[in-house]
Structure 1
Amino acid sequence: MSPEKLPEPLRIAYSPCPNDTFVFDAWAHGRVPGAPALDVTFADIDITNGMAERGESDVLKVSYAVLPYVLDEYALLPCGGALGRGCGPLVLTREAGADLAGRTVAVPSETSTAYLLFRLWAADTVPGGVGEIVVMPFHEIMPAVRDGKVDAGLVIHEARFTYQNYGLHKLADLGEHWELTTGLPIPLGAIIARRSLGQERLTELAAATRASVRAAWDDPEASRPYVLAHAQEMDPAVADQHIGLYVNEFTADLGEDGYAAVRGLLTRAAAEGLVPPLGPDALRFP
């Protein structure tokens, strides 16, 4: 009699950033009872956005900005993602208080929440709009602004703390602008799962994600080896700060404010012609 065939692992793709490895550590290492085994692919979010658009995985961490392009095939899970406050992208210039009307702006991606926040800010504050948008690797943006190759740069993450080293000025904090104008958290990264898995399986995946988050909170030290192994030489204290900023109550459950933030961002972006409009039930789970 042949042995019973084990079910195929669930294909999942998320970033090596501390918040993602912290969230999924317990599940990835078999410490969530009843959860399916995972086949993990590590990739930065610009890569996972493309994977989602091509339908290349069962579960993915993606930018909220890509949702309008993938929600026919994938459902937004109500947990596991990243929303936050005080953690938005910045617009940097060489001169303090520069006017960006008609100017060239470097951005790391045009399929990111940061880019949507930038365009919404510009629609509110730059009469006539900005000029050419140039996509370039994140690490090249601040040197390009410093050297006069572009007039301004859109930056994220650790650049919040290092831009002064390039002699640059903060023209705008886009997260601050978003929070002041909406009162809502900043939607950053979402967890999505393939709709073809079926309603029951999707519900199980959401439960497993929540259980993994709670396990990480209950025993933070258990996740530390996994987090630091993938944190790309990040100082452990910085990794802890990263987790503290991006893993919060919205990670356990989007809740009313979380859903309002996501719908608000994508509705405003659609009104500016930046993304396709969402259907009325597009964010419903499952």
Structure 2
Amino acid sequence: MLKVGFFGLKGAGKTSVTTVLSFIISYFMEEEGKIGAVLDADLHEADLTNLLLGDERFSGLHDILLGNKLPEEVVYDPLISLENSSIRRRLSDLIKLKVIPAGNNDPSSLMYEPIDLLLFRLKSLEDYVRGIGIGLLLVDLPSSNSSVRILLKSISKWVDLLIPIMLPEKSSILQTRRHLLSLEIDRRSIPFVIINKFRSDLEGSTVFADLMNSYWGVPFYLLPHDAELSESIQRGFISLPELHRMHFSLSLIKGYSNCAIPGRHSVI
């Protein structure tokens, strides 16, 4: 099983990208006879939990990390009976996707938990989801909030790949890099980065590319800031085949396929 974490500062669109990719990649995985899953590790916001399950009143990751729940008690199917959820309903009918929500307790209670203990409990969750046929787990990581820094540091070490998501702004690029360096992340676990909300009319594109190469030194993928596309997705006017054939999603999937981890192979 491959574990892929998405990290970004608040407002970079990390949760939106993770959610859409979870549907897209799970669609491809089902063709391979595998199941995709998504884990909401952003305990403060729990936005992914709200998107896929409707609210935060579910046992989840936080309960696992405190030892209050077993892994089999925190894995759910996406709920599709929400208002204005036609796009989720159509996607859920087509693919198999498991959701592990954030949990409903104060994340600050994890501040004093030893990293080794958190990693041990994460390993128990990993063993369970692998056993039920999960081939790829996408993880929506917390931002750099101090009260969950211990969690961010633990999960960043636990995942196999870490994908930073940034805005096309120098401050976003530099701050994201600074936060990741402070976590003592192995740079080899970052195969590429994502620039979200990129506008085709952005000035200084050459300078921007030089900046990315200078500070990151890995390939980067651009997700367009397309208001018409966003509106179509929100209203449910776009089908899954249209979605997964789009250039940006195929580029990301290609990025996963080209990731090289010693002793591991991508499931895509």
Shorter-chain-normalised TM-score: which range? under 0.3
TM-score, L = length of structure 2? 0.27
Q: Which has the higher contact order (CA 8 A, sep 6+)?
A: 1
Larger radius of gyration: 1
